[in-house]
Structure 1
Amino acid sequence: MGEMFECVLFTASLAKYADPVTDLLDQGSVFRTRLFRESCVFHQGCYVKDLSRLGRDLNRTLILDNSPASYIFHPNNAIPVVSWFDDADDVELFNLLPVFEELSKADNVYTRLDQLREQ
């Protein structure tokens, strides 16, 4: 993914927990930026990932998340995924590779995501 996108870790977890876990998982240094709970907006009892705070073009920004509450400010940028709980046979992200490849070439993720949702 790091070859197709600027990958940013944006989590509602506390940095003291998420940073060491990310160090273990991100051996190839794919995440260019790490954002933790303090970068979220506390809104109606939930930590929301406000993509406008990234300072990136939202027409070219995606959020991949298992919690719809986390992306309520930007639902049209979202690719929802199911929660992962230690399933060695899980291939959800692998199955999304063709979608990511298409989106990496899109000038506007909204248009392409809308098309994909209609299929």
Structure 2
Amino acid sequence: MLDLDETLVHASLEFMEQSHLQFDVTFKEQDYHVWVKIRPHCLEFLERLAEKFEIIVFTASQSIYADKLLNLIDPDSRLIKHRVFRNSCLFVNENYVKDLTVLNRDLSKIAIVDNSPQAFGYQVLSNGIPIKSWFGDTSDRQEVCLLKLLPFIESLAAADDVRPHIVNRFKLHERVSAL
């Protein structure tokens, strides 16, 4: 599973130079124009993952916005097989938390890449792969972030249970305990 905003893309209601996509969306009877930058190597990342995995985008964004954006990124749903939105999140302490159990899938086979560990930390910290937030920066340091994760994620395809591998690599439980 992949998060959308600040993981795969950066979107804004304000003009962004060199945006890759633009679209209009109506939300609560208000019209908005959205500018979107796609994270470097995003499409390559999605294509490689789609070879080995069922890709699900799980976003805390509203479906009216996220569906339009995902239709532009993957118009034929060739890469992203399922979409899960804010209405499937739990609202806990002013945060939208992604409840992976809504997918009705074996949690030993699920990994979620998200820039916001609190979004997946409520119940499934062992399934979470953290990534640095991306806000449209094109520096080399950020560009390789998705590509750096690929070998590890691809290695999970052979795992009987992804959770021990994720826990060992990212040690999120230790980080949370230290807070």
TM-score (norm 2): 0.62
Aligned residues: 118
Deviation at 1:16, TM superposition (A): 1.1
Higher relative contact order (CA 8 A, sep 6+): 2
CA distance in 1, matches of 2:50, 2:98: 21
1:86 matched residue in structure 2: 136
The answer to which structure has the higher strand fraction is: 2
- 1:9 pairs with one of 27, 50, 57: 57
Post-superposition, which runs of at least 4 consecutive aligned residues in structure 1 deviate over 6 A? none
Higher gyration radius (CA): 2
8 Å Cα contact 2:126-2:164 kept in structure 1: no
Give 1:27 shift: 4.5
Q: TM-score, normalised by structure 1?
A: 0.91
Note the alpha carbon deviations across 1:45-94, whole angstroms, 9 max, x for none. Answer: 21110011110110010011001111022111000001111133411111
Flag structure 1 segments of 5+ consecutive residues without an equivalent: none
Q: RMSD of the alignment, in Å?
A: 1.5
Q: Which residue of 2 aligns with 1:45?
A: 94
Structure 2 stretches of 5 or more lacking a match? 1-48, 172-179
Between the aligned partners of 2:76 and 2:168, the Cα distance in structure 1 is: 32
Determine if contact 2:90/2:96 at 8 Å carries over to the other structure.
yes
How far the C-alpha of 1:116 sits from its partner, in A, is 2.3
Task: Encode CA deviations 1:14-68: one digit per residue, 9 max, x unaligned.
Answer: 1111111111122462111111111111112211100111101100100110011
